[in-house]
């Protein structure tokens, strides 16, 4: 189910809130409410495809029982075995459902080199949100193994953590040790609920008004056969805005919804387009993923404790896998490699960029351009398409006869105005997460009409996907 | 109660009233109208992915609040952003374009082989029955008037319809006879307005020019000898909002933009004074899409492509017309009505260029 849909806003959410707050005996401990959340989260998830529920339930059960063994076993080898089972089972599931088709297409490619036909062993549909709930399940067993968290009180609490609908399909990635206490005890106050509403509305408006408009521009340009130089840069910038406002909007809505149900979910973005280096960018972009990769991959690999050469290798591995986590495509691998290389380079310079002596606006601009290149890789369907797009950006491609028409589609007054708004909002430091912490009459007077405007806009828009649903 | 509590309470109440208000209004309306609340339809079918998507779409499309708000919001988008919805692109000087027409010119397309295979198969099947095929791709509006869409296109621009021109060349190379309306229209576009500003289709002048060219081509090839039926023209002026504007689904937009006035030439039989009518016994069968429907089956009637082609050829024609379905559906209909091919000497097959890519049901080989 999509947050920015009629059914979510006017059916699912009202019923979820009603049921949650009217539940009898709904004070601490939150067993009943957690169970209710579990049920509605499974409805939320199963709405995209009911069969996927079985997959999530299986992953949840495996991790829960492995966690139980890890928590209760007194022998270290047993604990380790349970952890390995949890990791292998989770990653196998992710590997099969997310990467089998990629593997199959690459086998076909290699076979083709030897004159053989393509192979079609299986046709796997990617379950929505699998990358998120698999990672979250892993944090549970790993945190228990590290003795950083106690095991869940019962299966339902743990299943509610994995499936918690606000963040289920597109994050933020919750780490068990940061939220487990909230499944035992959390507060529900009018203030927290109101703050959640503010954040939810801001996210919703960002998604509907900004991200979707930028997305229309980006889609038109990336679909074009031969965009001109200016069009290609404009399209790449539009995609940069789309992915930021889309993904951060989802995070805002998730955190806002979390607050409505009493949860505090971590901040996921912190003005990433104000970064003045790539290292800075990864401190500000998809924070829950970068901290997950740091704590559950980079540090276990040795982090920066095993010499500089190993540090660069670790960074490269982490970013490559981070790229692959985003999608089963060579474009994501190259995207990860690109960021890994830039991070390793900055690490080699003591976490400083080459352009660190430039004035800050220039550093921000250069970093944005570097990130822009990576978004081209991220957006393109294939490496060759990305190559074609880069060629267009640098004027190395002859414009196609129809490309002159593209200007009429993307440079309309309305789109230019909204792209300008996107640009201004992307480079201002105040984040919705912080802005919504305190509710004032002024903010209320601003967000309620904004909500009405965004809702009415949703009714006329057909273009409404959340980008991170595909991951 | 503190001031903060009042503030928080107000926001929460306003938010919940909005969610519950909209959410509850629809089932209440359904009940008041004596209908089963649509929200319960979710239980009427197994919860498969397909059923759930259909339920969700139906719920949004039929929601009273959505239907009420949507036209006004679309109008507001039009006023503020010149946005007319997902299918329409606003051009310059009051011209409006159908988005797939523009997409076809801008985006890559790789379906040439399928189109070629379908057309060749049809050509060969007809040839085996001694019937000639004349293929007539109709240029899309932005192919002929790209400068009305994008200020970047300068007067005297080169051709923008690369895919269609390449397809035409390949068809001719494959031995399929075609009429090149692209060149003809480009030569005449400056002096005559060949398309309607608010519509995807050609103007009466553009349509007449196409009909004259096709008639001349058929006669040049010796496939058709001019018949004895005499037709005359009766001028009829119609006023209408074009289909592109109507796609915005906003009466407010239509009220804000004056309808386009067009003078058509209705084709009337000289002997009876009756408007032109098709005949199933004709030597010529014309297949096509809404480019054949406009003025012919729409008002003012008998003033469209087939009527004018008939006037040029001096004989009534047989037609199969399907909006958006000229790629495959018209041939499927023909295969279901094989009697229409009896006594035929020529099939004229018109389709708009965007349907090379977007034609309904693609380009299937249809056995006759």
Do B40 and B178 sit in the same domain of this protein? no
Residues of chain B with C-beta less than 8 angstroms from the C-beta of A418:
81
B263 neighbors B218 (Cβ within 8 angstroms): no
Note whether residue B31 is domain-resident. yes
What's A73's DSSP letter? Answer: -
Do B262 and B189 sit in the same domain of this protein? yes
Q: What is the distance between the alpha carbons of residues B312 and B309, in angstroms, rounded to a whole number?
A: 5
Place of tokens 């049809």: B122
Do B15 and B127 sit in the same domain of this protein? no
Note whether residue B292 is domain-resident. yes
Do B151 and B288 sit in the same domain of this protein? yes
Residues of chain A with C-beta less than 8 angstroms from the C-beta of B77:
414, 457, 460
Q: How many domains would you assign to chain B? A: 2
Cβ of B77 and A457 within 8 Å? yes
**3-state DSSP call for residue A268?**
coil
Q: What is the distance between the alpha carbons of residues A63 and A79, in angstroms, rounded to a whole number?
A: 13
Do B181 and B116 sit in the same domain of this protein? yes
Note whether residue B327 is domain-resident. yes
The rounded percent of chain A whose pLDDT value lies above 70 is 97
Of the candidates B20, B41, B62, which is a domain's last residue?
B62
Do B197 and B269 sit in the same domain of this protein? yes
Of the candidates B17, B46, B62, which is a domain's last residue?
B62
**3-state DSSP call for residue B267?**
strand
Q: How many CB atoms lie within 10 A of CB B326?
A: 27
Note whether residue B164 is domain-resident. yes
How close, in Å, is residue B186 to chain A by CA atoms? Answer: 15
Do B11 and B126 sit in the same domain of this protein? no
Do B252 and B341 sit in the same domain of this protein? yes
Do B43 and B141 sit in the same domain of this protein? no
Do B152 and B194 sit in the same domain of this protein? yes
Note whether residue B137 is domain-resident. yes
Give residue A309's pLDDT: 86
Of the candidates B20, B39, B62, which is a domain's last residue?
B62
Cβ of A50 and B18 within 8 Å? no
Catalytic site residue A326?
yes
Do B103 and B192 sit in the same domain of this protein? yes
Cβ of A460 and B9 within 8 Å? no
Note whether residue B77 is domain-resident. no
Q: Residue A405: which of B9, B22, B142 has the nearest Cβ?
A: B142
Strands B88-90 and B260-269: unpaired
Give residue A29's pLDDT: 59
**Complex ipTM:** 0.88
Give residue B126's pLDDT: 96
Give residue A28's pLDDT: 52
Note whether residue B266 is domain-resident. yes
Which among A326, A341, A297 is positioned nearest to A102, based on CA atoms?
A326
Which stretch of DSSP H or E encloses residue A345?
helix A330-348
Q: What is the distance between the alpha carbons of residues B204 and B264, in angstroms, rounded to a whole number?
A: 6
Residues of chain A with C-beta less than 8 angstroms from the C-beta of B14:
444, 448
- Show pLDDT as tens, one digit a residue, over chain B (368 residues): 688 899 999 999 999 999 999 989 989 999 998 888 888 888 888 888 899 988 988 888 888 999 999 999 999 999 988 888 889 999 999 999 999 999 999 999 999 999 999 999 999 999 999 999 999 999 999 999 999 999 888 766 666 788 999 999 999 999 999 999 999 999 999 899 999 999 999 999 999 999 999 999 999 999 999 999 999 999 999 999 999 999 999 999 999 999 999 999 999 999 999 999 999 999 999 999 999 999 999 999 999 999 999 999 999 999 999 998 999 999 999 999 999 998 899 999 999 999 999 999 999 999 98
**3-state DSSP call for residue A412?**
coil
Q: Residue A414: which of B19, B83, B142 has the nearest Cβ?
A: B83
Give residue A463's pLDDT: 53
Note whether residue B260 is domain-resident. yes
Q: Buried b / exposed e across B30-69, counting CB within 10 Å, b at 16+?
A: beeeeeeebbeeeeeeeeeeeebeebbeebbeebebbeeb
Do B151 and B58 sit in the same domain of this protein? no
Low-confidence ranges of chain A (pLDDT < 70): 25-29, 462-465, 467-471
Q: Report the residue of chain A nearest B92, measured CA to CA.
A: A408
Domain residues for B28? 3-62
């Amino acid at each position: 189910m999509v947050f920015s849909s009629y059914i979510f806003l006017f059916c699912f959410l009202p019923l979820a809130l009603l049921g949650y707050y009217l539940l009898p005996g709904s004070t601490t401990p939150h067993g009943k409410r957690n169970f209710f959340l579990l049920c509605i989260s499974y409805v939320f998830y199963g709405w995209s495809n009911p069969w996927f529920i079985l997959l999530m339930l299986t992953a949840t059960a495996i991790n829960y029982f492995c966690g139980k063994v890890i928590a209760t076993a007194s022998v270290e080898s047993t604990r380790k075995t349970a952890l390995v089972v949890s990791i292998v089972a989770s990653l196998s599931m992710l590997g099969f459902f997310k990467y089998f088709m990629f593997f199959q297409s690459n086998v076909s490619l290699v076979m083709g080199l030897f004159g053989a036909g393509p192979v079609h062993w299986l046709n796997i549909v990617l379950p929505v949100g699998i990358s998120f709930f698999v990672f979250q399940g892993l944090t549970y067993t790993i945190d228990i193994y590290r003795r950083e968290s106690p095991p869940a009180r019962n299966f339902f609490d743990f299943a509610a953590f994995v499936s918690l609908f606000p963040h289920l399909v597109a994050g933020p990635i919750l780490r068990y040790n940061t939220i487990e206490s909230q499944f035992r005890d959390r507060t529900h106050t009018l203030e927290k609920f109101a703050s959640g509403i503010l954040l939810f509305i801001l996210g919703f408006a960002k998604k509907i008004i900004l991200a979707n408009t930028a997305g229309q521009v980006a889609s038109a340009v990336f679909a074009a056969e031969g965009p001109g130089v200016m069009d290609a840069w404009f399209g790449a910038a539009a995609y940069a805005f789309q992915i930021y406002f889309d993904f951060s909007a989802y995070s805002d809505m998730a955190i806002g919804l979390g607050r409505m149900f009493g949860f505090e979910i971590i901040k996921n973005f912190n003005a990433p387009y104000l970064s003045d280096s790539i290292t800075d960018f990864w401190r500000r972009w998809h924070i829950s993923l970068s901290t997950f990769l740091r704590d559950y991959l980079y540090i276990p690999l040795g982090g920066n404790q095993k010499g500089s050469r190993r540090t660069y290798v670790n960074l490269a591995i982490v970013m490559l896998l981070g790229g692959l986590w985003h999608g089963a495509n060579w474009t994501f691998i190259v995207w990860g490699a690109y960021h890994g290389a830039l991070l390793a380079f900055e690490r080699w310079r003591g976490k400083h960029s080459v352009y660190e002596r430039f004035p800050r606006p220039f550093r921000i601009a250069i970093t944005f351009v570097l990130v822009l290149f990576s978004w081209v890789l991220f957006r393109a369907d294939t490496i060759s398409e990305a190559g074609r797009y880069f060629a267009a950006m640098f004027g190395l491609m002859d414009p196609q006869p129809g490309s002159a028409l593209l200007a009429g589609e993307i440079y309309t007054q309305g789109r230019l105005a909204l792209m300008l708004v996107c640009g201004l909002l992307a480079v201002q430091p105040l984040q919705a997460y912080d802005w919504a912490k305190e509710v004032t009459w002024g903010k209320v007077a601003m967000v309620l009409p904004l909500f009405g405007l965004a809702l009415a806009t949703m009714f006329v828009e057909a273009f409404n996907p959340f980008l991170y649903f595909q991951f | 109660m503190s001031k903060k509590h009042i503030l928080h309470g107000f926001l929460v109440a306003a938010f919940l009233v909005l969610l519950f208000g909209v959410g509850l209004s629809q089932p209440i309306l359904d009940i008041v109208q004596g209908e089963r609340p649509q929200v319960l339809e979710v239980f009427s079918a197994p919860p498969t992915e397909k059923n759930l998507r259909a339920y969700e779409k139906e719920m949004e499309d039929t929601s009273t609040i959505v239907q009420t708000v949507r036209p006004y919001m679309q109008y507001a988008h039009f006023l503020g952003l010149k946005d007319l919805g997902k299918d329409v692109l606003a051009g310059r000087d009051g011209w409006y374009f159908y988005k797939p027409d523009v997409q076809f010119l801008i985006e890559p397309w790789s379906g040439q082989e399928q189109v070629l295979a379908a057309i060749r198969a049809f050509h060969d099947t007809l040839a085996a029955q001694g019937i000639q095929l004349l293929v007539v791709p109709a240029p899309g509006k932005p192919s002929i008037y790209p400068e009305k869409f994008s200020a970047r296109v300068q007067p005297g621009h080169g051709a923008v319809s690369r895919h269609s021109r390449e397809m035409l060349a390949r068809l001719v190379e494959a031995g399929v006879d075609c009429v090149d309306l692209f060149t003809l229209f480009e030569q005449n576009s400056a002096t005559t307005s060949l398309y309607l500003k608010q519509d995807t289709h050609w103007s009466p002048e553009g349509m007449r020019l196409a009909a004259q060219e096709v008639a001349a081509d058929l006669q040049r090839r010796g496939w058709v000898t001019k018949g004895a039926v005499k037709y005359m023209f009766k001028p009829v002026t119609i006023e209408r909002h074009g289909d592109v504007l109507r796609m915005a689904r906003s009466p407010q937009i239509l009220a804000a933009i004056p309808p386009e006035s067009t003078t058509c030439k209705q084709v009337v039989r000289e002997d009876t004074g009756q408007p032109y009518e098709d005949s199933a016994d004709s030597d010529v069968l014309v297949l096509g899409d809404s480019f054949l429907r406009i003025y012919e089956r729409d008002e003012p009637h008998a003033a469209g492509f087939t009527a004018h082609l008939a006037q040029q050829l001096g004989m009534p024609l047989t037609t199969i017309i399907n909006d958006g379905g000229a790629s495959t559906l018209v041939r499927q209909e023909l295969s279901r009505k094989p009697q229409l091919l009896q006594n035929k000497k020529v099939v004229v097959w018109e389709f708009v260029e965007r349907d090379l890519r977007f034609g309904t049901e693609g380009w299937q080989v249809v056995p006759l």
